[in-house]
């Protein structure tokens, strides 16, 4: 039993390859291939756009009776992705491109049209120079003039590059930065001047309004100058204060003198004989005694102030007046 994956096959000694029948295929046979759209196109049936690079399962065949320098030309059949209409295009080995044949129109072929136009102009020029010698001279003159202009432009570019080769870009950037800072500083100064002018104008307007209001209002009295006190004025003030104190003592009495306030209240002496009979005393007789003791304590308290003694003095006078 032979191997499954072998590269060499066994040929018997009596093998004759000429006896093998050849497979005869038609020349216009079609193959199914997988390809991508070579250019942007638009379907003529439904107007669907098919962009470049979209993949199709196409049928490929060889075009009969067409060749370029012995190279065969192939035709491809694809279907629209929307309406399934058949679109055909074929190869163009002369221009290394593809040509639209049927079912769609090609988009964005401006470059190809430009190249075709240049070729057409070049061909017409060659035909014209072939029959007109003066035209040849004119064309040569134009070409030489154009060439001189191109050389001059090229020389200018070289000179410009040489000048730029010695330019210090860091210094240029530094100079630009400084000029930018100066411009910002100048703008800031202008803003400050405008602000100061506006403030000054507002102040002048306010002063004018104040002056108008002062003219309408009555003129205020001139301020009086404060008189400076004389050094001997304190001697004149001392008798006045003494007179005020004397008038107060005459009306009320002295607050700090204890003998005068204590003399106004008479302390009632307790009877030792009656102390034994304190339990038999009626409540009516006991009340005045308690009130007298309260008056005595109110009249003289060791820790009381002068103002409290004055209140006690007024209470004693009221009680004596009622009696």
- Tell me whether residue 65 is in a domain: yes
Are 48 and 89 contained in the same domain? yes
pLDDT tens digits for 221-247? Answer: 555 555 555 666 666 655 555 666 666
Are 128 and 155 contained in the same domain? yes
pLDDT score recorded for residue 322: 47
46 is in an annotated binding site: yes
Are 55 and 101 contained in the same domain? yes
User: What is the pLDDT averaged over residues 1-26?
Assistant: 83
171 is in an annotated binding site: no
272 is in an annotated binding site: no
Q: Which of 20-29, 75-84, 150-159, 221-230 has the lowest mean pLDDT?
A: 221-230
188 is in an annotated binding site: no
pLDDT score recorded for residue 301: 47
- Tell me whether residue 173 is in a domain: no
* Domain with 151 in it: 115-165
Structure tokens that stand for 95 in this block: 């221009």
pLDDT tens digits for 252-311? Answer: 555 554 545 445 555 555 555 554 444 444 444 444 444 444 444 444 444 445 555 555
Are 157 and 132 contained in the same domain? yes
Residue 86 reports pLDDT greater than 60: yes
Are 92 and 124 contained in the same domain? no
- Tell me whether residue 228 is in a domain: no
pLDDT score recorded for residue 54: 95
- Tell me whether residue 205 is in a domain: no
The pTM (predicted TM-score) of the whole model is: 0.37
pLDDT score recorded for residue 102: 92
Are 98 and 143 contained in the same domain? no
Tally of domains in the chain: 2
Buried b (16+ CB within 10 A) or exposed e, 179-214: eeeeeeeeeeeeeeeeeeeeeeeeeeeeeeeeeeee
pLDDT score recorded for residue 135: 84
């Amino acid at each position: 039993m032979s191997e499954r994956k072998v590269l060499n096959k066994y040929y018997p000694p009596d093998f004759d390859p000429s006896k093998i029948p050849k497979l005869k295929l038609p020349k216009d046979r079609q193959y199914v291939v997988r390809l991508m759209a070579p250019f942007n196109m638009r379907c003529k049936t439904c107007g669907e756009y098919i962009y470049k690079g979209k993949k199709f399962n196409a049928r490929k065949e060889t075009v009969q009776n067409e060749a370029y320098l012995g190279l065969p030309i192939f035709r491809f059949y694809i279907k629209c992705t929307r309406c399934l209409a058949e679109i055909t295009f074929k190869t163009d080995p002369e221009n290394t491109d593809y040509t639209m044949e049927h079912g769609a129109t090609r988009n964005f072929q401006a470059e190809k049209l430009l190249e075709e136009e240049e070729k057409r102009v070049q061909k017409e020029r060659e035909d014209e120079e072939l029959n007109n010698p003066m035209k040849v001279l004119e064309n040569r003159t134009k070409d030489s003039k154009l060439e001189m202009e191109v050389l001059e432009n090229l020389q200018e570019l070289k000179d410009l590059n040489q000048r730029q080769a010695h330019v210090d870009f860091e210094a240029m950037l530094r100079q630009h930065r400084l000029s930018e800072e100066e411009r910002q500083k100048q703008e800031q100064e202008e803003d400050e001047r405008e602000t100061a002018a506006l403030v000054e104008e507002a102040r002048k307007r306010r002063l004018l309004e104040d002056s108008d209001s002062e003219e309408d209002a009555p003129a205020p009295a001139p301020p009086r100058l404060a008189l400076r006190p004389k050094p001997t004025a304190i001697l004149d003030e001392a008798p006045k204060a003494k007179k005020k104190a004397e008038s107060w003592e005459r009306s009320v009495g002295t607050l700090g003198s204890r003998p005068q306030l204590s003399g106004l209240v008479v302390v009632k002496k307790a009877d030792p004989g009656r102390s034994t009979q304190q339990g038999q005393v009626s409540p009516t007789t006991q009340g005045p005694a308690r009130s007298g003791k309260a008056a005595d304590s109110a009249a003289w308290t060791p820790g009381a102030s002068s103002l409290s003694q004055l209140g006690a003095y007024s209470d004693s006078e009221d009680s004596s007046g009622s009696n």
